Structure 1
């Protein structure tokens, strides 16, 4: 037997006499045809219905308030809620809507919804589902929103789906957003330009430039007209795709059509052009920005200064930095740090320190990154006392207890051969529960290899692997180099094979070290095999490596192979140095072989 709705039960309880006098009810609903009594009776019924509805809403509000408090304060309310409200129908959509308003926590509302369904209650209507879904989307709860859709198989309204796309894109779930685009397409709906732009921006932030171009293609198919934001995102995407000149051409094209992107697009282009050292185009862009009412801001110049410093043009960057101050711009902490870093890389420590104190006078206190930049500069210049003093100051300010700061000091000590001090800092990290990352291990491995301590370096590599860290090529390269120099080429090759098994791409110089090590022990045959493998993989061996192999082959009286290596050396673009030339001529004269002289003559003539 179906359960009576709550409104009927409430009405009967409030009007018990009505159940004993059915005639009275009939008299209220059936009239004689338009008399005053009939109109009055109808009015009474309407008033009673409104009063019932009002009482029902008041009752919903009161119970929703109680249930909200219970679900907020009791961990396992699901097991007792029904017993506390035995006669109440929780599945009424009106009650759930009231609960959603009162609860103020959409995740608790979702939990209540799931509990309600677990009790075998009828699913809420589409209006309530839309209300809950919209609340989840508004709260940026994209994972619960996805789970809600899968659980209910509910189909949200079109506007809700567009908001859902924007929510997913902000959370970096651009592939899932693409599926929602397909749903809208299936309904014959084209999303608004704001939704398309949100998806483009989300794809860029997620590093999915492939999805950017896919979405843009679909935009064109739908006939959506790109706006100024769209253009800015497309320019950003070309730069991320390392197609800066394509972005530059796109900018020129849209400006001819009267569209001028915001400063962010110009700044991204300037950053990309700095990487490619296209400084003439950067100058042109600055003039364009001014002409198009897009005055370069501090971030524009920050990109230029950063690009110059990164490309070893610190003096030019410093000149622009000072020029900005003269023109009234106020550099922020980021720009000061960038410039200090650039000067430190150029070993201009006096200028870096001057900027440091100037920055503090301007009210910008150095942060952890600024401290590490100057500490690294002192370490590189060999002034470890100042580096240690600055490090202590950084720790006193609460910045020192991090992986980055420890790595900076460890690198400084290793650079100057003070591996004992570096090792103490390494152990200190463990005691203070500071994470030691792969950079920490790699720095120490390289430091001990420079000191010739292969045992210590090998132990560190094994510890790195035992900790479950993912090694890099830099974890192996210093060890392979040291092993080859010490004559243990077999162990070096084992490490090489281990790199291959782990899917690591060795640095080109690693092959050079192994070939040099083989030559040192007179193993020219295997050296030739490694060289052939390098050339087949389009790797460029060092000139010193080729010359060592030529000498090794010549000493083994394999002059024909030596001349083949010489020919390869010329094809790569190396110039024959006097020392190796004299060595070859001396060897050929001893052999007194006309054939080898002819071959050498042909090689010299062709190259």
Structure 2
């Protein structure tokens, strides 16, 4: 079980001036260099420096110098213990020096020097070459100095190699080496970025065991770890503790908690956090708003986001263009074009000019309510303002026109893109494919699918779904199944509803046995079919005198909470009366009794 912070957490470890930790890296490197120089300080022959410079030049300029270096200097002993230190000084390139070190190690009689290895190791760490430093540790049996290990840990954490970083911490712990606060925080931050809250609690527990006093950065990483664990309330409790002690974390900690509470729909906590931020002079930034808006996706939640947005404006916070655009886009998704326009004029009145993304958000909002004239007028205005037509702007117009049934106009815009040198992407093709399918123009949609494949674009689930639905609707189930196989062969995951389309299409064609097989495969994959799909299959099974199968599907339908429509119910009763089957009546009675009992329980 992951370790959790103790109850006396804030009393244990917060320190003043918490963000001014000295970085020991430069000092460590200079001390190592000084020690190396003192250890290897000998009277060198005059020619040694000259040869080191010449060898350094060869290493820098010749790609495969290893094959000819000895023949280039036939009378020189490269194993001279004074040579490599001199080369290292002349080379001033740790990667080339490491390559020479590996080459030298392949010769009999070469004994790696501990201080020399430490110097190379420190150079690799300073160059953020974590993998090269790791390979050196595996190649040579030496133990870096504690300060070097700390630098290595920070390097691993910055590279996201948290498993390796934790292993180094374990080795340091076994050797009784306690890292500096900077190194502990670096590891906590790396663990948070990797989503490894288990590492956070392990490392924090060891940090407490060593008696290391933490700072506000430490607090923030623990709060983020709580959020990773979906334990936002505990993170909020920790925040309140440090606030009571007079410490205020950075805006990052607040934003993470806000995001977590938005996901849990605890909007009172979101509002409380926003008010606390303002009171503590941690004014919400664009990322704060984005955390709120990105988590308020359905209409009720988006309305809550809009309320919070207005509340913060009333409290004196000034949103920027990005935030206005985000809110306008959100309102347009809710078809609240009137409110979106109010925000538009409000931002213009404040001297914040709309950009192409603001225009596109409002253009699509106009299309959504069927106001094509306003959408086209906005598009013209955007072009007149000097905004270049882009793939994004064309996609907005094409999708909007298709939404309003103006597919031919959308096709004209699509063709005009290539004439103007504007790239088409998968969204462009998908919008037009969906538009043609909506109009029943399968040939045009299929042509576009083939064209996007020829262009080297990877089709998405959306590309296929509209085509499969329309093919099943017109009875061409075989072509729909061929497309299904094609999308799977290309590694595209079918949408859940495509199963429903094919099952319904097969049922309509009278292929109820195959439709039942598709339903069984769907259930095996733990996918939930639509009510209409099950009803259609039940109807077709009963009309085909497959009452046993129809009753099985009916029982499953009740088990997942669906009710049977009156039309399908009458159809089944008529078929049972026609067959006059006592067994089927008994089975149906049992199913209905089970459904009644379940309903009473709930």
TM-score, normalised by the number of residues in structure 1 = 0.73
> 1:314/1:116 Cα in 2 relative to 1: closer, same or farther (>3 Å)?
closer
Query: Does residue 538 of structure 1 match 2:526?
Result: yes
Query: In the alignment, is residue 377 of structure 1 matched against residue 372 of structure 2?
Result: no
Per mean C-alpha deviation after superposition, the further-off stretch among 335-344 and 409-418 is 409-418
Q: Offset of 1:125 from its aligned partner?
A: 6.3
Map 1:64-143 to 2 at 5 A.
110-111=95-96, 114=99, 130=118, 133-134=121-122, 136-140=124-128, 142=130
Looking at structure 1, the residues matched to 274 and 390 of structure 2 have their Cα atoms a distance apart, in angstroms, of 39
1:417 aligned to 2:405?
yes
Q: Partners in 1 of 2:414 and 2:442 — Cα distance?
A: 18
Summarize the Cα distance change of 1:127–1:444 in structure 2 as closer, same or farther, 3 Å threshold: farther
Match of residue 343, structure 2, among 349, 355, 360? 355
- Give the C-alpha shift of residue 300 in structure 1: 7.8
Unaligned ranges ≥5, structure 2: 1-40, 596-602
Question: Structure 1, residues 511-539: CA drift from partner, whole Å, max 9, x if none?
Answer: 11111101111122222222233333332
| Correspondence for 2:201 among 216, 225, 243 | 216
Q: Whole-Å Cα distance in 2 between the matches of residues 132 and 6 of structure 1?
A: 20
Identify the structure with bigger relative contact order (alpha carbons < 8 Å, sequence gap 6+).
2
8 Å Cα contact 2:296/2:302 also seen in 1: yes
Counterpart Cα distance in 2 of 1:95 and 1:361: 69
Q: Which residue of 1 aligns with 2:436?
A: 448
Tell me how far apart the structure 2 counterparts of residues 462 and 136 of structure 1 sit (CA, whole Å).
51
After TM superposition, give the deviation of residue 552 of structure 1 in Å: 0.9
> Is the Cα contact below 8 Å between 1:99 and 1:109 reproduced in 2?
no
Is residue 2:235 matched to residue 1:247?
no
Alignment match of 1:573 (pick from 561, 579, 586)? 561
Match of 2:537 among 505, 524, 549: 549
Per-residue deviation at 1:407? 3.2
Aligned to 1:311: 298
Do the aligned partners of residues 389 and 192 (structure 1) sit closer, same or farther apart at CA in structure 2, a change above 3 Å counting?
farther
| Distance (whole Å) between structure 2 residues aligned to residue 377 and residue 143 of structure 1 | 50
**1:233-312 to 2 correspondence within 5 Å?**
233-240=221-228, 243=230, 246-252=231-237, 255=240, 261-286=249-274, 293=280, 297-298=284-285, 302-303=289-290, 305-306=292-293, 309-312=296-299
Which residue number corresponds to residue 17 of structure 1? none
Aligned positions, number: 539
Q: Is the 8 A contact 1:410 1:422 kept in 2?
A: yes
Q: Alpha-carbon deviation of 1:492?
A: 1.8
Aligned-partner SS, 1:375: helix
How far apart are 1:484 and its partner, in Å? 0.9
Cα 1:135–1:221 shift into 2, 3 Å: closer
The residue number in structure 2 matching 1:497 is 485
Q: What residue number does 2:504 align with?
A: 516
The structural deviation recorded for 1:540 is 1.9
Query: What runs of 5+ residues in structure 1 fail to find an aligned partner?
Result: 14-55
Q: What residue is the counterpart of 2:7 in the other structure?
A: none
**How far 1:196 sits from its partner (Å)?**
3.0
Point out the structure with max Rg over C-alpha: 1
Q: Residues 378 and 139 from structure 1, CA distance in 2 versus in 1: closer, same or farther, beyond 3 angstroms?
A: farther
Check whether the contact 1:97–1:128 (CA below 8 A) recurs between aligned residues: no
The alpha-carbon deviation at position 147 of structure 1 amounts to 6.8
Separation in structure 2 between the aligned mates of residue 352 and residue 539 of structure 1, nearest angstrom: 38
Is the 8 Å Cα contact of residues 324 and 347 (structure 2) preserved in structure 1? yes
Give a deviation string over 1:452-502, Cα, whole Å, max 9, x none: 232333344344445554443323222221111121212222333344445
Worse overlay, 110-119 or 458-467:
110-119
Which deviates further from its counterpart, 231-240 or 328-337?
Answer: 231-240
1:340 Cα deviation after fit: 1.0
> Could you say what secondary structure the match of 2:347 adopts?
helix
Q: From the superposition, tell whether residues 563 and 451 of structure 1 become closer, same or farther in structure 2 (CA, over 3 Å).
A: same
RMSD, aligned α-carbons: 4.5
**Of 306, 309, 318, which aligns to 1:330?**
318
Q: Secondary structure at the match of 1:310?
A: coil
For the 8 Å contact 1:359–1:365, the answer to whether it is kept is yes
Contact 1:515–1:530 (CA under 8 A) maintained in structure 2: yes
8 Å CA contact retained: 1:92, 1:124: no
- 1:166-223 deviation per Cα after TM superposition (whole angstroms, max 9, x unaligned): 2333343444544544554565434334323323323443xx32x3413532442462
TM value normalised by structure 2: 0.73
